[in-house]
Amino acid sequence: MRPLFWLLAAATLPTLLTVSAAFAAPAAASVALATTGVVPAAAVATVTALTAAGSALAMAAGPTGMAAAPADCTAASASDFNGDGVDDTVVGDPFASPGGRSGAGAAHVLFGRGESGAVVTSPEVKAGDGFGWSARLAHLDADRCADLLIGAPYTDVAGRQDAGAVYAVYGGPQQRTVRMAAPEPEADAHFGWSLAAGGTLVAVGAPHENADGVADAGAVYLFETGALDTAKKISQGNGGVAGNSEAGDMFGWSLEIGRLNGDGAELDLAVGAPYENDDGIGRQVNAGKLDAGSITTIFDVRGAGDTYASKKWDFNEIPDPDPDDGFGEAGDRFGYAMAYAEEGDTRYLAVSAPLGDGASVKDSGLVQLFQSSGTAAMAPSATFDQGPEGVTGDGYGFSLALTGEGGARMAVGVPFDGPDRRGGVHLVPVGDASQARMINQSEPGDHLGWSVAFSGNRLVIGAPDRGASGTVLLLGRNDTDGIPLSPGAGKIPALNGGASADFGAAVS
């Protein structure tokens, strides 16, 4: 079972930052797969598929070995990887052991409501890579089928241990896989820790990179979907980017792409730095409120030249709904998770502080919602928490998801809810928070809500510590209970020659 790196007491939470040491790939597994940029995979992603009868097949379709998609993607829905007209889901399993290689990781594509699925592994499976740590369904080419972005932030690149990589796995008839890496890979940078995609842009976070010569300051790499071999690096050292690269900021821990600046003509980038100190102007270390956190919105990020326009948001910039509740304190981790969605002309960005003091309950967690439109730039709106029912260490906002389909809804992961850490998810209709409900279809130790996502009209919830392999729940819009899905159960394939250990750690 996956070790838990999230330790909820404020004094011990910084141990989350030592995850690279706890999960480092063994030295014997280090391999130089590429030197720079994108590398078309010579031994592209291995995918096993199941038929409706549940029999494992090796279905080759060109070099990918992936089950063939329909002849075209004309009937594909927004999150449809295989082109059958039904939304699909991708689930990360980063501590899995495909082929017996511990911690190599895997990703699983669940077709529809779990009628079948496929397992995707790295082109070169190596122990400790963490393939599946992050995962996104995205549109990377001109067909209507969805594609996959899968982060492997513990992959060794060009001899640099744990430099990290991201794999783009294309759905549809022209199936292929390419690997993305930083142009100058850096040991322990963990490129691929976070992912975002919107329009024709892909953003990849490397929050442990020593950007601007500062340890763990963090950086983000921006790619055009048609040119995944060319990266633009963004850090707090770039001209016009609010803030400064300081030790341990973790700039790029979370990412979102959307339209946040009012005119809506160009895409903007939101970058979370939850370990940044609230320390005033200028580069400082261990000053002010430690690990208070912030986000930076970078406007027209595609069109910017050497100098950007941006705005930094922390709790100093947000009106305090209750001056007595400890709003904006050391250790809040504002920017830990983010989610973006649009409903008509209204755009929403949700940002969490999972150790913020929600409803005056210390370290119970809260979520700040921002709104923008075609005529109004991003501004704070509502603040959400569990109210007086919140408990210190619940982790409210550990994960976030938003959808604008059928009315804006927000899913807030609370994976440490309950005395037995069974977890849950707070599902909130943005327009009427009084109708919010808690989804707690969980058992002791499940950590339900470790990850959340919307796929079409379905909510996907990860419970990576349920059972030996982990589980996800799929809930339709009107469902009371979710459908639990696990590798090797029903028609969901198990790994070939290995075992799942963390299924549900990431979902999209």
Domains of the chain, start order: 34-507 (2.130.10.130)
Average pLDDT taken over every residue of the chain: 84
Q: Above 80 in pLDDT, residue 52?
A: no
Contact 151, 193 (CB under 8 A): yes
Task: State residue 39's pLDDT score.
Answer: 37
Q: Could you give the percent of the chain with pLDDT greater than 90? A: 68
pTM of the predicted model as reported, rounded to 2 decimal places = 0.88
Report how far residue 199's alpha carbon sits from residue 225's, in angstroms, rounded to the nearest whole number: 9
DSSP tag of 212: G
Contact 140, 131 (CB under 8 A): no
Task: State residue 299's pLDDT score.
Answer: 93
Task: State residue 305's pLDDT score.
Answer: 74
> What digits encode the pLDDT tens for the residues 116-141?
999 999 988 999 999 999 999 999 99
For residue 343 the two structure tokens come to 């409903």
Mean pLDDT across 26-30: 26
Mean pLDDT across 249-268: 91
For residue 340 the two structure tokens come to 């973006």
Task: State residue 289's pLDDT score.
Answer: 83
User: Which position has the higher pLDDT, 32 or 251?
Assistant: 251
Task: State residue 278's pLDDT score.
Answer: 85
Query: In Å, how far are 17, 18, 141, 505 from 5, measured between CA atoms?
Result: 8, 8, 36, 12
DSSP tag of 293: B
pLDDT band at 418 (very low <50, low <70, confident <90, very high): very high
Q: Above 70 in pLDDT, residue 65?
A: no
Q: In angstroms, what is the C-alpha Rg of the chain?
A: 21
Backbone angles phi, psi at 331, to 5 degrees: 85, 5
pLDDT band at 15 (very low <50, low <70, confident <90, very high): very low
Backbone angles phi, psi at 107, to 5 degrees: -130, 150
Q: Above 60 in pLDDT, residue 309?
A: yes
Query: Which of these, 388, 407, 408, 404, lies nearest to 396 by C-alpha position?
Result: 388
> What digits encode the pLDDT tens for the residues 181-227?
999 999 999 999 999 999 999 999 999 999 999 999 999 999 999 99
* Of the ranges 31-45, 57-71, 173-187, 414-428, the best mean pLDDT one: 414-428
Query: Which of these, 87, 117, 1, 104, lies nearest to 487 by C-alpha position?
Result: 117
Task: State residue 294's pLDDT score.
Answer: 95
Contact 183, 158 (CB under 8 A): no
What lies within 8 Å, CB to CB, of 347 at 6+ separation is 258, 259, 260, 264, 340, 341, 371, 372, 373, 378
Least trusted range by pLDDT, from 91-100, 114-123, 160-169, 178-187: 114-123
C-beta neighbour count of 491 within 10 angstroms: 16
Report how far residue 123's alpha carbon sits from residue 441's, in angstroms, rounded to the nearest whole number: 36
Q: Is 435 exposed, middle or buried (0-12, 13-18, 19+ CB in 10 A)?
A: exposed
Sign for the pseudo-dihedral over CA of 445, 446, 448, 450 = positive
Q: Above 90 in pLDDT, residue 151?
A: yes
Report how far residue 287's alpha carbon sits from residue 189's, in angstroms, rounded to the nearest whole number: 24
Mean pLDDT across 339-367: 95
Q: Above 70 in pLDDT, residue 281?
A: no
